[in-house]
Amino acid sequence: MKGLIFDLDGTLLDSMPSWGRQLDDLLTARGITPPSDLLDRTKTLGLEMATSMVLQEFGLHDDPAVVYQQFQDNMAALYCGTIPLKPGVRAFLDDMYAKDVPMAVATATSRILVEKVLAYHQLTDYFQSITTVAEVGIGKHDPRIFLTAAGKLGLPPQQCVVFEDSLKAVRSANRAGFQTVAIYEETNPVEQNDLVQEADLYIHDFRNLAIPHDDMLE
């Protein structure tokens, strides 16, 4: 493998609980009990698509643009404050960067938030490109975002590893010919057994990466 493509939320960042609270607060403030699977159903869509979906599904008449901006503002503050990198991420990225391994971010999060959080953690220079769901126009159930990210690295899918915490994303990356590493995510216990089966490698966190880095990148 010659290139690495990383999801952001739930993979590099321990941010899924914060996203979940944003969604839950939106509904509970309006007297609606949030369904337990709401975060899983929205997290690969991108915030703009997810916002529209939630408002439509629950018959809410809020302005989607206003809700979207509130989410953006809330998460920007959290990204540059209390949300940490997941365990082992810093050491792994440091190692890959020192070895000149091409790396990219492929995420459902908006570009402006991605750029903010990478700069906050001083990781901007580690990644050759950022690709978002909004930019490709379809969620991660489709492999287009991963194919676009690989193209920006100048590599075919067969020479890239995709790191993801979402079952839909792992499945679409597999279909497109990528190798996949699934990351445990505490907010999504129901998918973990399937992720073990679907991904080429499943890890609890980056400290438990079970293969030598050089073998991954042969």
Where are the domains positioned within the chain?
3-14+85-216, 16-79
Would you say residue 213 has pLDDT above 90?
A: no
| DSSP for 115-174, written as a single string | HHHHHHTT-GGG-SEEEEHHHHTS-TTSTHHHHHHHHHHT--GGGEEEEES-HHHHHHHH
Q: Does the domain made of 3-14+85-216 have the CATH classification 1.20.120.640? A: no
Question: What is the pLDDT, as a whole number, of residue 28?
Answer: 85
Would you say residue 42 has pLDDT above 80?
A: no
What's the pLDDT band for 211 if we cut at 50, 70, 90? Answer: very low
Token pair, residue 121, equals 């953690």
- H helices, E strands: number in the chain: 11, 6
- For 108-134, what is each residue's pLDDT tens digit? 999 999 999 999 999 999 999 999 999
- For 173-182, what is each residue's pLDDT tens digit? 999 999 999 9
Report how far Cα 70 is from the mean position of its chain's Cα atoms: 20
What's the pLDDT band for 52 if we cut at 50, 70, 90? Answer: confident
Beta bridge partners of 182: 164, 202
